[in-house]
Every structure is written in C-alpha cells, then in structure tokens.
C-alpha cells in the first residue's frame, strides 16, 4: 500500500490532499454525498496512515482543523492539542494511544 511506504516522495500535505481527493471520488462513484461522515466511512483506517505530526502546523490548523470535514470536531480538538499522539478506530468514540510516525516519508 502506497501510504505505508517510507520511500514515498511527497509531503504529508500532498499525501493528505490526494487522500481527500480519492475519498471524494469514491463518494461520487457510490452516489453518496461527500459529507464528513461519508468521507470517514470511505477512508476507514486509511486516515490513521496520515502522518499529521510531520505536517506544517499552519497547514494543519488552516486546512485540516478549520476548513476540512474529514476529521470530526472531537478528533480535530484531540489532534490539535496533542498534535497527533492519538488515533481513532472507525467504531471507537475514544482515542487510542498509538506510536505515530514522526519521520518524513523521503
């Protein structure tokens, strides 16, 4: 899977934007509204492969936390406070501690 490759030569912001585009296209193919809830359902566990911790903090604040609907409001707060020391499972309402990679991809 491309998102798990350390050798992927793209910024995490580029990876995130590509993931969002893919999710929107997947919603369109399924004839469902690309709401935050549907985008999260389509992405499933892929969202946990995004290395939010290596993103530029201004990008995260402006594009992910404020303007985007991929993360739900609670996730945005948790990620903003901890800047990515937790992940969420699809069926969980509580964050799960994880060892997220802080290494850039290339």
Give 22-55 pLDDT, tens digit per residue.
Answer: 999 999 999 999 988 899 899 988 888 888 878 8
Would you say 36 and 24 are in contact if contact means Cβ atoms under 8 Å apart?
A: no
CA-CA-CA-CA torsion for 37, 16, 61, 95, nearest 10 degrees? Answer: 50
Q: According to the model, what pLDDT value does residue 102 have?
A: 57
pLDDT over 80 at 105, yes or no: no
* Beta-bridge mates of residue 72: none
Would you say 24 and 39 are in contact if contact means Cβ atoms under 8 Å apart?
A: yes
Would you say 63 and 31 are in contact if contact means Cβ atoms under 8 Å apart?
A: no
Q: According to the model, what pLDDT value does residue 98 have?
A: 47
Instruction: Name the pTM for this structure.
Output: 0.70
Question: Average of pLDDT values for 98-102?
Answer: 50
């Amino acid at each position: 899977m491309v998102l798990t490759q350390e050798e992927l030569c793209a910024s995490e912001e580029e990876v995130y934007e590509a993931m969002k585009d893919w999710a929107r296209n997947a919603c369109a193919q399924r004839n469902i509204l690309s709401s935050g809830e549907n985008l999260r359902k389509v992405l499933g566990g892929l969202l946990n492969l995004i290395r939010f911790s290596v993103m530029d903090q201004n990008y995260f604040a402006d594009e992910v936390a404020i303007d985007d609907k991929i993360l739900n409001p609670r996730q945005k707060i948790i990620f903003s406070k901890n800047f990515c020391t937790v992940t969420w499972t699809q069926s969980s309402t509580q964050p799960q501690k994880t060892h997220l990679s802080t290494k850039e991809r290339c």
